[in-house]
Structure 1
Amino acid sequence: MTDHSLPFRDPQLPFARRTDDLLRRLTLDERIAMLHQFAPPVERLGLGAFRTGQEALHGVAWMGTATVFPQAVGLGATWNDELVRRIGEAVGNEVRAKRAEDDRVGLNVWAPTVNLLRHPLWGRSEEGYAEDPALTSAIAVAYTRGLRGDDPRYWRTAPVLKHWLAHNNETDRDTASSSVRPRVLHEYDLRAFRDAVRAGAVAGVMPAYNLVNGRPNHVSPLLDQQLRRWTEQSLVVCSDAGAPSNLVDSEHYFDTHEEATAAALKAGVDSFTDHGQDSAVMTGRIRDALAKGLIDESDIDTAVRRLLALRFSLGEFDPDLDPYAGAADFDTAEHRALAQEAAEQAVVLLKNDGLLPLAPEAGRTVAVVGLLADACKLDWYSGTLLHRSSPLDGLRERYGAENVVFAEGADRVRLKCADGWLQVPDADGEADTARGAEGALDPALLAGRTDLPPLTCGERATELALVDWGGGVLTLRTAEGRYLSVADDGYVRASADEPGGWVVQETFRLEAVEAVGGPKGLAGHDRGHRLLHVGTGGYVTVAADGVKVADAGERVSAALGTVFDVEVTERGEDAVARAAAAADTVIVVAGNDPHINGRETEDRATLDLPPQQERLWRAAHTANPRTVLVLTSAYPYAVTEAAATLPALLWTAHGGQAAGTALARVLAGDVSPAGRLPQTWYASDADLPDLLDYDIIGSRQTYLYFEGTPLYPFGHGLTYSDFTYSAPSAARERDVIRVSLTVTNTGAADADEVAQLYARAVEPADDLPLRKLIGHRRVHLAAGAGERLEFLVPVTELGHWDVAHGRWTVEPGLYELRAGASSADIRGTATVVVEGEPSGPRAVLERGIEAADYDEQRHTVIVDRSKTDGDAVSPAGECGELLFRRCDFGEGARAVTVSAAGQGSVMVTVEGRSVDLAVPGGEGPYDVRTHEAELTVRGVHDVRVALRGGVRLAHLAFVPGKESS
């Protein structure tokens, strides 16, 4: 029975006192148990079970039906902070509503993802908001404020930001290290987290799987040195799933799990997400670490105190006072309208030669074609749809079903083997039992089913729709809409409504083999094909008891796979051309399936649109020049030829439950599009750096530094109206700059405009950004109306991280403030003078030089100086180079000292004088030792350092002493 007289139950006491009281009442075993994601109840004190982690990226995920909003990158494309705040509020309310029905739903939500969209080939681009830290911060602050709620004491939900830190690759994501120089760290990656934490609506962060500068994020000293110094509020750090074990199993950073667990706990991880709901493994490791003296009880208490503080803030112990504890609703009329509003605002009009808007009128017919024309795609972090609106649905509703012609454009194929034709047996009505209220097959019921009969080969052929999603990865689907899938028993069945799951079981590859006779096959080749199942790596084989994939031990042998002839009964481009020729205007809907070729665990290989989809828009345009291309995707494409050829292009992220309705309203002109690109759209793969190159300054990445000509620039987006900007005015007011301008709608249509404000130093030094977003505002203006906009810009926004002095610096000088409709469409400028003392050269005699504080580098990588703290620099190959500009040696130095580990050499060159210091190696990579050589120099000079071999340079120091004559 709960004792309500205990101090921790007293709502009149501050949370801190109540937390301390409850903490001291818990036994050691009870405290250790709380460190796992699934904390058990403490019945003697009346505490219920608690779990950290509820996915809520763009709606409640993984817990059944919920309102599905546009993907996060689509929310970023709205550039509308207030809209996103309302979405956060709606999602938070639905979390509460689901919690009232199902205690498995947690109130600690793992959202939003604030990793910056640095590289467009990153598989998880759909989860972030933008490539820019300021825009990402603004959207993240808005979403977390909505999730958190406005009550000063209690939280609606407790948001955790993902994924700390510098995480933009799925390739080798648990073993790859992001080399992040201090400027990039402070100006770019930390910024995305910092503003949201300082805004007070964030409950914590989740470290990423990767390493940063050679050290796993789950033992990052930055959790203490940065994150927890940004706020006095208690923050919880929740590990990513399985990451604590990765410290030993894949990263081999520690020898034992006890060492790894202790290091993570001491670094600041509070909640361990590992081994699913089985907490015994992790709690056992914590007990063993305690027994071995690797941690003490105070380390455990620190983490438990943070977790208890989180639970108090969520009202767990004050249900009668918690303003969010009452029954809430989901799928309300307001939430449905909000989902549609968000989908409409996320649409970006990339190009329009006057074809749009396409208002419905008598006799007008519209062909909607393409592989996503009748699709409403979900991603890994979506909830289950209560409502579905594909482009075809939306266009039929808006233009009238009788005026809409449809052709998907999938190739229609039949597969033949020596035993006959591949066929899908009748399911005896079982598929119908899995249909939901609106007739859609429930993927939770169909995917992985083993009660349906497997495919066979016989006299009757089943025609299948073949879609090539790029890179040779394809899906096969029956006329009834059921995808071929492989269940745990290895048999192939038509049993999935959509591709999905952690390991997608609905994707295949066709591998050509030598001719086996028979009709011409795919692409006209007289060759057979083996069918490889991507999910298992096994080849599809026809056996007496049905079609299956090879067993695990046989998957490497292609000879075990059945050889099929692929007979194409209709090519998709032919169907598209017929539909296009029969219509007034064609809407081609292309893009990606969020579970295929770019998602969590898988990066993209190219910016190119898949060849099958290229053929479709070309066939449509040949048949009908009035062709619009709509790209519905989680990331950018390099559609250079389409942009040059077609009269109109649009892009939208997968827009959730109202995507089709929203698109139709934009096409028809009911809504003027005003979404803006949250990422640079590059013209080709040649514009991209290596995926693992995190030095955005040195490799000139993102709109901040890119010196080429993009296909579409950051912030780009057109409308159906015209807007003029007055000349902006700028005035310094102590620590802020007030920028004012008027935006006027000079067109005939009511529309939104997104005014954007950028800054740049007129005489930039030290590789400052070419342009930098410092403000944005989305406003709705009636035709002919204008509005005066003001931006209050902190002067610090003009600054950068000064590696020479280890601080944030705003250099004095002239700065240009540029207002416009995109980063490239500038309509007016103002200038402001910032006064003050310049930072000056490096005082190397007093401070020395940290190796990672370079100004330029070639062929180097930043590594960990020790397992707990510090950076060093090592050659990425045989030799690497560092440049340190403007080093002040004052009256003179007589020697240089290098602190380094590893084995190799360090050559230091100043004013044409070089010394080469051998580093003979010590007792491992962290055995940093000092080596000194004579080097006489005075005055201010650049310092160049060449690194060879396996050396790990940590620090340079210079011994004072006048230069000899």
Structure 2
Amino acid sequence: MSSSSLSATGRLPFHDSELDVRKRVDDLLGRLTLDERLAMLHQYAPAVPRLGVAAFRTGAEALHGVSWLGVATAFPQAVGLGATWDEDLVRRVAEATSVELRAFHLHRPPAEGEGRTSLQAWAPVVNLLRDPRWGRNEEGYSEDPVHTARIAEAFCRGLAGDDPRFLRAAPVLKHFLAYNNEDDRCVTSSGVRPRVLHEYDLAAFRPVVASGAATGVMAAYNLVNGRPCHVSPLLEDELRRWAEPTGHELFVVSDAEAPSNLVDLEHYFDDHAESHAAALRAGIDSFTDHGLDSDTPVERLREALDRGLIDEVDVDRAVRRQLALRFRLGEFDPDLDPYAAIGPEVIDHPRHRVLAARAATESVVLLKNDGLLPLDRAAGPRVAVIGPLADVLHEDWYSGTMPYRVTVAAGLEEAVGEVVRVTGEDRIALRSRTTGRLLADTEFDVTDWGDGVVTLRSADTGRHLGAKYGLLVVEEERIKSWDVHETFRLEPVADDDGTVLLRNVLTGRYAALDAVDGRVAVTAETPGAAERWSREVVRDGAAQARAAASAADAAVVVLGNHPLINGRETQDRTGTALPERQEAVLRTVAEVRPATVLVVMSSYPYAVDWADEHLPAVVWTSHGGQETGHALAAVLLGDAEPAGRLPQTWYRGDDELPHPLDYDVIKAGWTYQYHRVAPLYPFGHGLSYTDFAHRDLRLSSEVVPQGGSLDVSVTVVNTGARAGSEVVQVYARAVDARYEAPRLRLVDFRKVRVGAGEAEELAFRLPVDRLAHWDVARGAFTVDPGDYELVIARSAENHVLVARLTVTGEAPAPRALVDRDTRAVDFDDYAAIALVDENRTTGDAVAPVDPTRPAELVFRAADLTGAVGVEVEVARPGGAGPAWLEFRAADRTLGAVDVPVTGHRYAWTTATQRFEEPLDGVHDLSLVLHGDFRLAAFRLTSSRAVAG
């Protein structure tokens, strides 16, 4: 608020820019009525005219450029930014994004009811890419927590700007926590045991929050250990605890409609007042629910207040966090805000175009090269650019509208002259068996996206066939909507060669002729009611591709996915294979043109085993934005070095991946850290056009104490004939660990550009705590004394130098279980166990996955000396059959505890049992669960404890 606008309200303490921000916030908060404060808990917080306070909304999408607001610079997808391994570049991309976001905020007319564009940027996504089939794979940076945290922190700093007082934009990390599946995402529970929680899922968020780079977090849709993330105690116990030293509190927002899901889908609470109260108390500060309708969520919170489920302190705590953020964004100090003068000309600025080209280029990964690349421009090669992605660029759900589109074909044509462009897609006619008429009076080019899903694009207009308004229409030039109307299945009719049924994927209904007017409607519920269509091939796509390749010197085949089809928000992929028709076109081209490059343009990894075996060159890029074609042309022709490295593992096609809902990366064998089968392309992989040697690995000390640190140095030499970029990756592994340690774990990395014949010495500072694991016996991170290896590598599988390191310190004592409570979830190993909530607000427990079969917990190296009995905390709603908990050690049963019925899963009781004889020695203790009950904790008791 400028000084000139204060006359209506007078100058109040919260207007005083020289006053401490906390006092300004408190002053403003104290002047708001209860109704005004309650209204501020919704995403669309209304203005308070009597105080001169403007309306405020949370949330603008800015994942790889500003999205949903019109034309804006489109950078590579987040997974592509992760592939750059370049923190400075990512920071600059985020800086450009936030500059454009400021321009939209300042100069875009507010949409009705929505207010000005928010400066709270809902980015970056910090969820780890555990499963390459995750529908939102494109939104994350990496499968590794260290890599993800580093890139995310850089993106946050770019969004926020460098001013010590004011934020250019306010970055919000998504989505907390353990969110990696789209199918049934609002009702599925991610089972995350303490080691996985602390070493993997929290490990990506912790450094970003602790650095102060993030200003907020968005809670995830899913449940973790049976409890919805929107009421997770981890919001306060972990996130906000990490943020305390930064001097700023996190502003935590809900995901869209997630507060309502607590009742409507998850049935976790009985009514919305109870659920909203629980979310507010757990730490949700802003409710993104019911769109522009703030009345419904606010009335639920008002009811919660009236019922005593929350009090004004809970409301004030959340509003205070919002106001503190608004002060940091300069809302109340426009005359001092260093970003207030940003003009609309920054949107699609020429500098941003250059940056988009660099980001797209740096993200390209050379997966295989037997000498075909770079293509010899001097030879004037005739190039055929083939495939469904050869001459088109697609936007994803979180893309902005591209200002222009340089396709792969266009980029190559600009660089080498005329190229041949063919899609390799069949052109077909669908003719009604009833009327003989062509569907929509046009022929269609058919694109196969896998799993039998195709799109049909009019050969006359280039627009897609879609099912809208109950009819089939040829309407959309681009597919970009939440509900995709333009995907179909051509289902063959049995015993009727060439005849198909046309089924819309979104509705599941078939095309049929309207009995009244003969129009084609998408209304048939069954195949029997559907119209039959003759599928006539007008142009054979494979033959077209073959001819183009035969006439060329080199073929570039561009295959991959559409970001809004078969793998997107709300839909996971079913596998990792290329679409069948795309693979067939590739093989056809390679058969006649050995000099074939496969370019995979995708949001996620594919199993390209055949291509790796039979083609001389394979390249990957994410959907790289407006400059994709220039970037790929530069790399394919050698004008730029392939500088990207894979941010996640590319598994082989016959590698059976774990179940998507198995979140235990350790036991399931996810990611390069624990996967037990050699991948097709490993994490960190990426080839170069030059050669590098690594030498002179030195440690400042080969023996370091727990809590110490050391310096690691290595020299990188470019032994090739051209300059290039190398990503030096530093991994660690424990030798002979007492726990199931990672095969390898990234502890540091550095991207460096080295001139031909030049050398670069790199130094890394390595605190010993980077070798730590979560010790379940102590409930803390621990670095075990013993031997470790530090590995300098070009990827997780390509190790070039290894050094041995010894950590000194006190060896861990056997696990003490006698006369102390041990949480059931703090096991070392398990079988057939599900992680569940102890109650609605806090605590985890365990239960058998299948109550009809035994389940087991193992507590290793436990000192059982002196134990004469056991106490267990159990809950048992009821059910048929007995339930008991068996204790075993040294291949014998020590005793068993009968579990009584308690009547509810949250009704806990203590059951006890004496052992037949006192226990002695250190053993692996097994707890075997029989029947339907929950176990929260147990305590081995000594005779002294019993007597007391």
| TM-score, with structure 2 as normaliser | 0.95
| Inter-CA distance 422–796: structure 2 relative to 1 (3 Å threshold) | farther
Correspondence for 1:446: none
Structure 2 CA distance for aligned equivalents of residues 263 and 200 of structure 1: 27
Correspondence for 1:895: 869
Q: Is the 8 A contact 1:727 1:830 kept in 2?
A: no
Q: Is the 8 A contact 1:533 1:549 kept in 2?
A: no
1:68 to 71, 74, 84: 74
Shift, 1:830, TM fit: 1.7
Structure 2 CA distance for aligned equivalents of residues 802 and 590 of structure 1: 45
2:491 to 477, 498, 511: 511
1:356 to 373, 393, 398: 373
Post-superposition Cα deviations, 1:696-718, rounded to whole Å, max 9, x if no partner, equal 11112110111211001110000
Shift, 1:766, TM fit: 0.3
Report SS of the residue matched to 2:666: coil
Correspondence for 2:104: 98
Shift, 1:2, TM fit: 4.2
Give percent identity, aligned residues only. 51
Structure 1 CA distance for aligned equivalents of residues 519 and 370 of structure 2: 51
User: Which stretch of the first structure deviates more once superposed, 324-333 or 674-683?
Assistant: 324-333
Structure 2 CA distance for aligned equivalents of residues 493 and 673 of structure 1: 43
Q: Is the 8 A contact 1:60 1:94 kept in 2?
A: yes
Shift, 1:534, TM fit: 1.1
Shift, 1:485, TM fit: 4.0
Q: Is the 8 A contact 1:893 1:963 kept in 2?
A: no
The CA RMSD over aligned residues, in Å, is 1.6
Shift, 1:238, TM fit: 0.4
Correspondence for 2:389: 372
1:154 to 166, 170, 173: 166
Shift, 1:487, TM fit: 5.8
Mapping for residues 224-263 of structure 1, pairs under 5 Å: 224-232=236-244, 233-263=248-278
Correspondence for 1:468: 448
What code does the residue aligned with 2:811 have? P
Q: Is the 8 A contact 2:789 2:802 kept in 1?
A: yes
What code does the residue aligned with 2:886 have? M
Post-superposition Cα deviations, 1:513-549, rounded to whole Å, max 9, x if no partner, equal 2456xxxxxxxxx152111111222211233646444
Correspondence for 2:232: 220
1:905 to 844, 867, 884: 884
Q: Does 1:17 align with 2:34?
A: no
Report SS of the residue matched to 1:144: helix
Structure 1 CA distance for aligned equivalents of residues 272 and 263 of structure 2: 6
Post-superposition Cα deviations, 1:222-253, rounded to whole Å, max 9, x if no partner, equal 00110000022211110000000000000000
Structure 2 CA distance for aligned equivalents of residues 293 and 809 of structure 1: 43
Shift, 1:562, TM fit: 1.1
Q: Is the 8 A contact 1:177 1:212 kept in 2?
A: yes
1:206 to 193, 211, 218: 218
Q: Does 1:394 align with 2:411?
A: yes
Structure 2 CA distance for aligned equivalents of residues 135 and 547 of structure 1: 55
Q: Is the 8 A contact 2:684 2:795 kept in 1?
A: yes
Post-superposition Cα deviations, 1:2-61, rounded to whole Å, max 9, x if no partner, equal 435100010001111000000010001100000000111101001111000000000001
Query: Which blocks of at least 5 consecutive residues in structure 2 are unaligned?
Result: 1-6, 111-115
Q: Does 1:324 align with 2:339?
A: yes
Q: Does 1:740 align with 2:719?
A: no
Correspondence for 1:522: none
Structure 2 CA distance for aligned equivalents of residues 349 and 480 of structure 1: 37
Shift, 1:834, TM fit: 1.3
Report SS of the residue matched to 1:774: strand
Structure 2 CA distance for aligned equivalents of residues 817 and 251 of structure 1: 46
Report SS of the residue matched to 1:636: coil
Correspondence for 2:121: 109
Post-superposition Cα deviations, 1:264-312, rounded to whole Å, max 9, x if no partner, equal 0000000000010110110010011111111111110010000111101
Q: Does 1:675 align with 2:644?
A: yes
Shift, 1:484, TM fit: 3.2
1:536 to 489, 495, 507: 507
Report SS of the residue matched to 1:140: helix
Shift, 1:737, TM fit: 2.0
Report SS of the residue matched to 2:548: helix
Shift, 1:769, TM fit: 0.9
User: Which stretch of the first structure deviates more once superposed, 389-398 or 98-107?
Assistant: 98-107
Structure 1 CA distance for aligned equivalents of residues 556 and 298 of structure 2: 56
| Inter-CA distance 487–621: structure 2 relative to 1 (3 Å threshold) | closer
Structure 1 CA distance for aligned equivalents of residues 300 and 927 of structure 2: 44
Post-superposition Cα deviations, 1:861-892, rounded to whole Å, max 9, x if no partner, equal 100000000011011113311111011123x1
Report SS of the residue matched to 1:54: coil
Post-superposition Cα deviations, 1:536-591, rounded to whole Å, max 9, x if no partner, equal 2221123364644444xxx5333222111111122211111000000001110000
Report SS of the residue matched to 2:538: strand
Structure 1 CA distance for aligned equivalents of residues 487 and 392 of structure 2: 17
Mapping for residues 856-935 of structure 1, pairs under 5 Å: 856-877=829-850, 878=852, 879-890=854-865, 892-902=866-876, 903=878, 904-911=883-890, 912-935=892-915
Shift, 1:823, TM fit: 1.2
Correspondence for 2:3: none
1:498 to 461, 478, 482: 478
Shift, 1:101, TM fit: 1.5
Structure 1 CA distance for aligned equivalents of residues 176 and 517 of structure 2: 50
Structure 1 CA distance for aligned equivalents of residues 181 and 463 of structure 2: 29
Correspondence for 1:59: 65
Q: Does 1:815 align with 2:832?
A: no
| Inter-CA distance 422–115: structure 2 relative to 1 (3 Å threshold) | farther
| Inter-CA distance 857–781: structure 2 relative to 1 (3 Å threshold) | same
| Inter-CA distance 227–963: structure 2 relative to 1 (3 Å threshold) | closer
Shift, 1:121, TM fit: 0.7
Mapping for residues 141-180 of structure 1, pairs under 5 Å: 141-180=153-192
What code does the residue aligned with 2:797 have? A
Structure 2 CA distance for aligned equivalents of residues 481 and 504 of structure 1: 19
Mapping for residues 481-880 of structure 1, pairs under 5 Å: 482-486=462-466, 488-515=468-495, 526-543=497-514, 545=517, 547-551=519-523, 555-684=524-653, 686-732=655-701, 735-877=708-850, 878=852, 879-880=854-855
User: Which stretch of the first structure deviates more once superposed, 731-740 or 941-950?
Assistant: 731-740
Shift, 1:421, TM fit: 5.0
Q: Is the 8 A contact 1:160 1:202 kept in 2?
A: yes
Q: Is the 8 A contact 1:858 1:882 kept in 2?
A: yes
User: Which stretch of the first structure deviates more once superposed, 804-813 or 1-10?
Assistant: 1-10
| Inter-CA distance 846–622: structure 2 relative to 1 (3 Å threshold) | same
Q: Is the 8 A contact 2:442 2:460 kept in 1?
A: no
Report SS of the residue matched to 1:393: helix
Shift, 1:361, TM fit: 2.4
What code does the residue aligned with 1:355 have? L
Post-superposition Cα deviations, 1:713-770, rounded to whole Å, max 9, x if no partner, equal 1100000000000131112587322110110111011111111110111222201111
User: Which stretch of the first structure deviates more once superposed, 877-886 or 536-545?
Assistant: 536-545
| Inter-CA distance 897–376: structure 2 relative to 1 (3 Å threshold) | same
Q: Is the 8 A contact 1:130 1:136 kept in 2?
A: yes
Q: Does 1:416 align with 2:422?
A: no
Shift, 1:915, TM fit: 2.0
Structure 1 CA distance for aligned equivalents of residues 188 and 654 of structure 2: 22
Structure 2 CA distance for aligned equivalents of residues 576 and 179 of structure 1: 47
Q: Does 1:290 align with 2:263?
A: no
What code does the residue aligned with 2:888 have? T
Q: How many residues align?
A: 914
Structure 2 CA distance for aligned equivalents of residues 101 and 714 of structure 1: 43
| Inter-CA distance 481–855: structure 2 relative to 1 (3 Å threshold) | farther
Correspondence for 2:362: 345
What code does the residue aligned with 1:332 have? H
Q: Does 1:953 align with 2:939?
A: no
Structure 1 CA distance for aligned equivalents of residues 461 and 678 of structure 2: 42
Q: Is the 8 A contact 2:192 2:224 kept in 1?
A: yes
